[in-house]
Homo-oligomer: A and B are copies of this chain.
């Protein structure tokens, strides 16, 4: 099994290191955070003294390098990769994909790269918040661009599968647009809802029940992480916010003019039912060594399908 070198050992990177080790892979990491490094070493994980050391080892062992730093540190890490391990297999777990793709194209034009994003928790951060099971059953996007090769995609996807996740194949732009709607807008909504509730004073908060608690839960996440994630996906998030403003404005207009929220409530109910009532999936195999394999996988992702297993030659996918 291919070795894994994780740069950044916070919640996500630390969980990747644990899960890859648990899957039987040789794995090591590096982090700029002394507390994260100490905590990881105390649990028996290999943490190199610097990212340079970790990347030189990756080059020597032909490892898969996983960039697991905040978006703001990605460029610096990629420069180090270009210097110490330019031939390494490469992926990342950053929550936005187009900006990372652009950096990789610019700094590592010949990289064996496919971007990744596991859809896993955010409320806590740091090594100690992670676990080998964090990705179990979760969706994990692995991106396919014009320049992506099947071997590079397969390496990134195999890591996700080994971590217990289901792989959603999609382009970087498709990913960023989708998570703006289902991950970043929910954080904006939670923040706005919490503030509107607080505007009602102590009485309103003492009358708050399940609907308000559910709707504001992720407003409890660390503000710096929420900002990094949402502000890093600005263009796609603006589209999602505009869609939301349009729908909320239409609800307001209808309530004011006719007193009805029928369109709003019915559309929301139908959408939520679609989320709950996922149909029994069909299972298919997609050969990875055939021409057009990655296009077929992107089509699987666009239809809501996921890769649930990988072997040398083929991906097993489930399509609704």
Contacts and interface: CB of A to CB of B under 8 A. Distances in A.
B170 A203 contact: yes
A72 interface: no
Nearest to A205: B275
Interface stretch (A1-9, A49-57, A259-267): A259-267
B247 A192 contact: yes
A76 interface: no
Nearest to A270: B198
Nearest to A122: B211
A69 interface: no
Given A178-B200, A210-B121, A304-B203, A194 B251 contact: no
Interface in A281-299: none
Contact of A202 (B179, B192, B227, B302): B302
Contacts of A220: 269, 272-273, 276
A23 interface: no
A268 B195 contact: yes
Interface string A186-201: 1111111111111111
B213 A200 contact: no
A82 interface: no
Contacts of A245: 245, 248-249, 252
Interface string A209-253: 111111111111101001100110010011011111101110110
Contact of A218 (B181, B183, B210): B210
B206 A272 contact: no
Contacts of A195: 247, 264, 267-268, 271
Contacts of A306: 206
B207 A218 contact: no
A22 interface: no
A132 interface: no
B179 A216 contact: no
Nearest to A249: B245
Given A196-B247, A212-B183, A272-B220, A178 B207 contact: yes
A112 to B, nearest CB: 24
Given A138-B209, A205-B274, A223-B262, 11 more contacts: A178-B203, A183-B211, A185-B193, A202-B320, A203-B302, A219-B269, A220-B273, A226-B265, A226-B269, A230-B265, A238-B255
Interface of A: 119-122, 138-139, 141, 168, 170, 174-175, 177-179, 181-183, 185-221, 223, 226-227, 230-231, 234, 237-238, 240-245, 247-249, 251-252, 255-256, 259-262, 264-276, 301-306, 320
11 contacts: A119-B207, A182-B209, A183-B211, A192-B244, A195-B247, A203-B304, A211-B218, A213-B275, A216-B271, A216-B275, A223-B262
